[in-house]
Amino acid sequence: MKTINRNTAITLLTLLFFGFSLSGYSQERKMTRQERNEARQSVMTANFNILDSLLTQKKFVLEADYLSDQYGNITQVPSNTNFIRVNSTDGVLQTGWYSGIGYNGLGGVTTEGSIQSWKLFRDSKKLSYNLQFSLNTTLGIYDVSMNVNADNNVYATISGLWPGKLIYKGHLATLENSNVFKGTTTL
């Protein structure tokens, strides 16, 4: 009888101990939907301000993870060889693949030139930017239109004098933090 009471007491104490330890964890409650939205909004606002400094200084690289054409055909690409680089008044457009067969030695095309007609539009309500500029290169004049969201998703449409367009989908990086490799300039 004594052993039953002793075992019962140990079991009750164990359950009581685990009950208190579980209730201690329950004080670390999950965030409510409103708290999650407020936290997400504050992060997005901070990102929006960081992107503002990148875009106004004109020193950034769009590292593309995907390329697509005007018909919606999407291809995953290496971000270190597919990029749009903006450095003050100069810019570089490059496509490339690991094959090494291409005009730039990377399986694609590289062209660089001067940036003209820079227009930056801020949408503080949607926390996004729309950037438009022209790049005057040896291969022609290219119009670049970028949509930059506060979560650092970037969509850039490149169109030139010929029919068709190329769409870069990726993220922005600073010139210092970028890991792009520039191939041989075409022409």
pLDDT in tens, 132-170: 999 999 888 999 999 999 998 999 999 988 888 999 999
Q: What is the pTM of this model?
A: 0.77
State how far the alpha carbon of 164 is from the alpha carbons of 103, 157, 159, in Å.
20, 10, 7
130-157 burial: b if 16+ Cβ within 10 Å, else e:
ebebbbebebeebebbbebbbeeebbbb
Task: Indicate whether 4 pLDDT > 60.
Answer: no
Token pair, residue 47, equals 């990102």
Query: Residue 38: what pLDDT?
Result: 87
Task: Please name which of 155, 163, 131, 158 lies closest in space to residue 143, comparing C-alpha atoms.
Answer: 158
Per-residue pLDDT tens digits for 65-95? 999 998 989 999 988 889 999 998 999 998 8
pLDDT at 7: 59
Q: Where are the beta strands (DSSP E) in the chain?
A: 59-69, 74-76, 83-87, 90-94, 110-123, 128-137, 140-149, 154-159, 165-173
Give the C-alpha separation, 143 to 114, whole Å: 12
3 state SS of 22: helix
- What token pair was written down for 143? 């119009």
Quick: pLDDT tens for 9-67. Answer: 565 545 445 554 444 454 567 878 888 888 888 888 888 998 998 999 999 999 999 99
Q: In the CATH hierarchy, which fold is given to the domain comprising 33-173?
A: Lipocalin (2.40.128)
Residue type, 161: L
Q: What is the mean pLDDT of residues 99-103?
A: 72
- Under 8 Å between Cβ of 110 and 132: no
Q: Give the Å distances, CA to CA, from 111 to 14, 85, 131, 152.
A: 72, 11, 20, 25
Domain ranges of the chain: 33-173
